């Protein structure tokens, strides 16, 4: 099988997988990073959202082969050790989750939004989050939590551009 090297949450990972293996299943089944979820397999629901070089991507349709050598951040790699990002803390403070299954994907989409726009409007949030389904209907708190994280100036923000050393 081909071997692909990826940087995942700051660590070099060598993956022996088929060329058509989606990142989602390499994360979950090969590396045991189960925080990224399976929802549809066709990039419709957003629960599998991760960052590739800081950009929100649907890992269920992104093959490992297509992103060889690139930098992946998953929900497990968002916090800096025990220090949660302002976004994660806002998710806890506002008790956003109901079942919680889609929330990793929601948070990853929101993190990409905040990295691109530090103080988003409702319209910005609507546009950035429209691809993430929540069957429980937690959308109102998702919107509030993004605003809360954006207003928490002193808290640690997730920085998609930070170096590997900071991750490690």
User: Applying CB under 8 A, which residues contact other proteins?
Assistant: 1, 18, 20-22, 24-25, 28-30, 32-42, 44-45, 47, 74-76, 78-79, 84, 88, 91-104, 107, 125-127, 129-143
Least CB distance from residue 159 to other proteins, whole Å? 17
Distance CA 100, CA 12 (A): 29
**Ramachandran area for residue 138 (φ above 0: left; ψ -120 to 50: alpha; else beta):** alpha
Shortest gap between Cβ of 12 and other proteins (angstroms)?
20
Residue 168, judged by CB atoms within 10 A of its CB (0-12, 13-18, 19+), counts as: exposed
Shortest Å distance, C-beta 67 to other proteins: 15
Residue 28 or residue 148: which is nearer to other proteins going by CB? 28
């Amino acid at each position: 099988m081909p071997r692909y090297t990826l940087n995942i949450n700051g660590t070099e990972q060598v993956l022996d997988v088929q060329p058509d293996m989606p990142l989602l299943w390499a994360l979950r089944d090969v590396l045991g990073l189960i925080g990224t979820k399976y929802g549809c397999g066709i990039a419709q629901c957003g629960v599998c959202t991760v960052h590739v070089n800081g950009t929100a991507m649907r890992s269920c349709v992104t093959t490992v082969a297509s992103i060889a050598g690139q930098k992946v951040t998953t929900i497990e790699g968002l916090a800096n050790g025990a220090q949660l990002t302002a976004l994660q803390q806002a998710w806890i403070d506002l008790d956003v989750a109901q079942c919680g299954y889609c929330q990793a994907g929601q948070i990853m989409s929101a993190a990409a939004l905040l990295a691109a726009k530090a103080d988003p409007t409702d319209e910005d949030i609507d546009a950035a989050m429209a691809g993430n389904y929540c069957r429980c209907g937690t959308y109102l708190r998702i919107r509030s939590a993004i605003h809360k994280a954006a207003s928490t100036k002193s808290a640690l923000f997730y920085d998609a551009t930070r170096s590997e050393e900071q991750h490690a």
